[in-house]
Amino acid sequence: MDETMGVGGRGRAILLLTVLAVLTVPIVVGYLWVIISTFSQRTYGLIPVDANGHPGGLTLRNWSFLWKDAAIWRVTVNTFVLAVGLTVGIVVVSSLAGYALSRISFPGRRPFLATTLVLHAFPSVTLLIAIYFVLRWITHIPVVGRGIPVIGGFGYNTLGGVILVSVALELPLGVWLMKGFFDQVPWDIERAALIDGCSRLRVWWEIMLPLIKPGIAALSIFSFISGWNSFLIPYTFMTSQEKSTIATYLRSLLSDTAPVNYSTVAAVGLFQLIPVMIFFLFTQEYLLNIFSGGVKGGS
């Protein structure tokens, strides 16, 4: 007997696992190839081969970009700044708004909630064209536009601008999730804190945030991964090479006019994927939670 909800013999479990395995083949094969190819001169299918097409040709040369191409570290730092910026932005803004929407009765609360929910389902990519104009406009604002160190500012063709857009577009999801997590905190605890002498801001900071740590962790992981991976927004709104992120750098490797060295591209890809994978391994349970948690709030 298996320990899941189903009942049935060991035989059936094996049958079902086999079906699952077959369905999952493309995923496994794809990632297998990524790993193999980064250590090969080239690959024929999944088989590493040398320049003449004979099996063999294992090499570390594909990884030489790590020490030969200074650009990779620059784009890595950019990507990291983007991911961290997105995470911090999302967590701060949505935990503030989520708290108010979940816990405070104020005029306009219901319209706010309805808006959040509509935006939650709203296809934000359709707005990229208009956001382009908004960013160009922000660029003209002194200092804020393009005069801030590290992130460059919040205008067009700055890291800050990309962070801001990403935060905004992920905000409805974040707010809705945070609201869901705040909803679960017992009212009596907050009441006790108010009676003990807290203002609402203090309750939020000293009592509520510590209590929804798992939710914050989940949202942070989710945001970090999505920032680390994000392609479309940096690709659309950052044109200069030196500000690009790993994803756009990768894209530029692929679309260069010179013949593409796929093994190198795969290595850069794996380089981008590794932190996410490690992250994922340790936090997959949180992530699985966020998706299902999001639905409890959203359905």
Partner 1 sequence: MSEDIARMGQCKGPNRLLDHLRRAWGPFLFMAPATILVLIFFLAPVIIIIGISLTNMSSATGFKNWAWIGLQNYGKIFRNPKSGTIFRNTVFYVLVTLSLFNVGMALVVALLTTHVPRRGGFLFRSLWLLPRITPSVVYIMMWNYIAADAPYGILNRHLLTPLGVKPTNWVPAQPWAFVILTNGFIGASFGMIIFSSAIESIPRDYMIAALVDGCSLWQRIRYVILPMIRWPLLFVTTYQTLSLLTSFEYILLLTDGQFNTEVWSLWAYHRALNNYWGNFQWGFGAALATILVIVGIVMAVVYMRYFQFTELVQEPRIEAL
Partner 2 sequence: MIVKLEHVTKKFGDVVAVDDINLETRDGEFVALLGPSGCGKTTTLLMIAGIYRPTEGVIRFGGRVVNRVPPKDRNIGMVFQSYALYPHMTVLENLTFPMRLKKVPRTEMLQRAQQVADMMGIGHLLDRKPGQLSGGQQQRVALGRALVKQPDVLLFDEPLSNLDARLRLSMRAEIKRLQLDLGITSIYVTHDQVEAMTMAERIAVIRDGQLQAFCPPNELYDQPRTLFVASFIGNPPMNFLEVEVVADGDAFKARCPEIEIPVSAERGRAAAGRGKVVMGVRPEDIYLTRDGIAGEVYVVEPLGRDDLVDVRVGDVHFKTLVDPGLGLKIGDQVRFGIRPERVQFFDPRTEHSLLWN
Instruction: Kindly list the residues in this chain that would bind partner 2 in the complex (CB under 8 A).
Output: 186, 188-189, 191-199, 202, 207, 210-211
Closest CB to partner 2 among residues 203, 250: 203
Side-chain half-sphere exposure of 91, counting CA atoms within 13 A: 22
- Does 106 bind partner 1 (CB under 8 A)? Our answer is yes
CB 56 within 8 A of CB 226: no
Alpha-carbon torsion 210, 211, 212, 213, what sign? Answer: positive
* The two structure tokens encoding residue 10: 């060991």
The option from partner 2, partner 1, none interacting with 151 (CB < 5 to 8 A, set by class) reads none
* The two structure tokens encoding residue 289: 């939670």
* Nearest distance from C-beta of residue 42 to partner 2, angstroms: 55
How far apart CA 70 and CA 72 sit, in angstroms, is 5
- Does 240 bind partner 1 (CB under 8 A)? Our answer is no
Closest CB to partner 2 among residues 74, 202: 202
- CB neighbour class for 223 (10 Å; exposed up to 12, middle 13-18, buried from 19): buried
The option from partner 1, partner 2, none interacting with 211 (CB < 5 to 8 A, set by class) reads partner 2
Closest CB to partner 2 among residues 18, 184: 184
The option from partner 1, partner 2, none interacting with 217 (CB < 5 to 8 A, set by class) reads none
The option from partner 2, partner 1, none interacting with 53 (CB < 5 to 8 A, set by class) reads partner 1
List beta partners, residue 148: 152
Site for partner 1 in 189-228 (CB under 8 A): 190-191, 194, 200-201, 204, 225, 228
Neighbours of 168 (CB within 10 A): 17
